Every structure is written in structure tokens, then in C-alpha cells.
Amino acid sequence: MCLSAHILSNTTSYFIKFILHFSYYKQTGGSMSEFKGLGTPVSELKSLGKQDVALLEQNGIQTVEALIYRRRELEDIFDVPDEAAKHNKIRNAVIEALTLKKMWMVPASEWAKVEAEQIVFDTGSKALNQILGGGIHSMSVAEFYGEFGVGKSQILNTTMVLALNNFPNRTAVYIDTEKTYQDRRIRQIAESRGFNADSIVDRIILLKPPTTEDLFELVKRLYLTVEKRNVVLIVCDSLISHLRAEFLGREMLQPRQQALTRILNRLKLLAELYNIGVVVSNQVVAVPQATMTPFGEIKAAGGHVMGHATEPRVFVRKAGVSTRIARIEDSAWLPPAEATFRISERGIEDVSKEGQ
């Protein structure tokens, strides 16, 4: 499968218009003029004229964040005969947009103010929250990896349910590539915690891409859903599944890693631009060499590409029938630490004295 293949431009345009219309309709009950989504209006860029703004909006770019997210497509959107003038127009708009988002030559003290606005998501376990610095932080891609059955999906499910309960006016995206999403489980977690299960489920946007190419195209356009549906959290269970199934053999390792890089970079950019949480689960691979890893002959799938892109990277392993141990495997700011939790009808929670 070749990820460089693009959908025809007219199909892409139709898709964007459909998503915009659907998103407005869901939020306003059919009234498009009343909707206010995430992001800074692209009309605030002084380097762009009214015609430029109208052209961008016609192509699905209505915010400063969307312009940054789709910056590589701007050459095709702006129809300026003079290539030098086109280049200058795009460069000035992108630099202004990055400056507004505090991503272009700003004092570190200014970026510290941005970090102070990060959302911290409760995982359901105080012990796990503690080693994560309070919980899962927005503006980065958090990774939980481990063998099958260790509870990765339960961590993601519980975090999502708690996020939707804590942010009643926002939604969550659930990208399911392993058929792990279960309505009954989401409702069980919500009801066991005393939440309105219907309200939780109604605000989950479920996406089930059948192939890697579909996954990439979905992530490529996901900014529209984030903006129009007021998304606060993106969950992906798992990110590597399709890639491992479709890119087989050593000769396919390079294109697989390139595809993974492109998907991860998009997710990271979404998290940072919109100040939302992104949490992914990851599988493991057996180490054929005799050298042992700290927890046996396994390591996270995805190689260095995955390791460099996620923050933090958390390894999860079994410690009993329902008890699990999570370890901070890698982080730019969190020290190595472990937390014990258990899986129950509430999703994940701290281990009680009776459960020890």
C-alpha cells in the first residue's frame, strides 16, 4: 500500500464540505451561523486579505491552527501566477500564524505561559496520576505499551470517560483499529462511577479506519473534527496495529516507519495546536536476541520513531489477576517511577487494601 497516493482533489473538497456541514449541524441543530468552535479565526492574520481568507475558508481552513496544520497544501490553494509572490504570501502567513501560537521566536517565558494552560487528564488511579505528574497532560502524545491483556485499553477507556465527565461541553475521538471499543464497557465504567452513561457515549466520536491509508487520511483531516466538535481528547487503540499487518518483512521497514512518522507528527501537531490530549496504546515485539530487556524479552513496537515521538512512554505489565504495574519508561521531565493499580468495573483504580 502506498501512502503517497492522494484522493482526487474534487473528492477531497467534497469530503471537507461534508465534514464542515455535518459538524455545524451536530453542534447547532442546523444553524451554521451560531457555531463557535476551537481555534483562532484565520481572518485575524494581518498578512492575508479578505479574498485570501475567503479562499482558505472555501478549502476548509477557517482557523490559524488549521493553516499551520495544512501549511504544505497552501501552494496548491493559492493561485498566484508569480511564484515569488506566492512564496512570500505563504511564508508571511505561516510565520504570523506560528507567532500567534507562540511557536516562532518567542521568549521561553512566553512558552511557559502556554504550558501553564495544559489540561491534566485524570486516569482513574491516583497512584498512576502521581507518577504522571498529576495525570496525562495535553499538548503531547502519551503512550501506554505492553503485552495483550495488561490493561492498556482500560487505561484509555477510563481516561476518556473521566475527561468527558469533567468537560461536559466537549467531545472525545476514539480511533479503534483493533476492535477494542465496547459500548457496554464504556457504559459500565461511567455508571460505576455515578456518571450519566448516555451523555458520555453521545459525545464519543468513534472512528474505525480499516487500513493504514485510511488511518492516515483520517488523521490528516482530523483537525476539522477537533475544531467543529470541540474535541478535548483523542484516543487511539492502537496506533501500530494496521502498520504491522500491512508492512511485512524487512524490506518494508523503511516505508512503515515513514508512515508511522507522518501519523505521529500529525497527532503531535494536533495536540499542541489545539491544547488537547492524545493517548495511544502500543503493542510489543519479541526480542530475538538473547539479551534481556528489564521486563523480559519484549520491547515496544514502532522502534525509535515511536520512542522519540511520545511523551511520556509508559510500560504496563501484569502483577496479579486484576493488578497491574505501570512504569515511566521514558520522559523529558518525569523521573522513572512505578505505580500499582487494578482493573475493575470502574475501569482502572487504585489497589485497595482488600485487593492487595
Q: How much is the pTM?
A: 0.88
The residue assigned the cell 515513514 is: 258
Q: Which CATH architecture has domain 118-350?
A: 3-Layer(aba) Sandwich (3.40)
| Count of other CB atoms within 10 angstroms of residue 190 | 25
pLDDT confidence of residue 27: 40
Give me the phi and psi of 48, to 5 degrees please: -115, 140
Amino acid of residue 22:
F
Beta-bridge partner residues of 323: 342
- Please report where in the chains the cell 489477576 appears, as a residue: 321
pLDDT at 295: 52
Q: What's the confidence (pLDDT) of residue 14?
A: 43
Give pLDDT, residue 341: 98
C-beta of residue 312 within 8 angstroms of C-beta of residue 331:
yes
In 177-287, beta strands by DSSP E: 204-207, 231-237, 277-282, 284-286
Using CA atoms, how far apart are residues 141 and 152, in angstroms rounded to an integer?
A: 15
- End-to-end Cα distance, the chain: 48
Which residues of the chain are under the pLDDT cut of 70? 1-36, 288-296, 353-356
pLDDT at 298: 83
Question: Quick one: CA dihedral 49, 13, 66, 266, positive or negative?
Answer: negative
Question: 268 to each of 132, 156, 251, 255, 263, how far by Cα in Å?
Answer: 18, 17, 27, 20, 9
Instruction: Return the pLDDT at 314.
Output: 98
Domain ranges for the chain:
37-113, 118-350
Residues 339 and 333: their CA atoms lie apart, in Å, by 17
What residue type is 101 in one-letter code? K
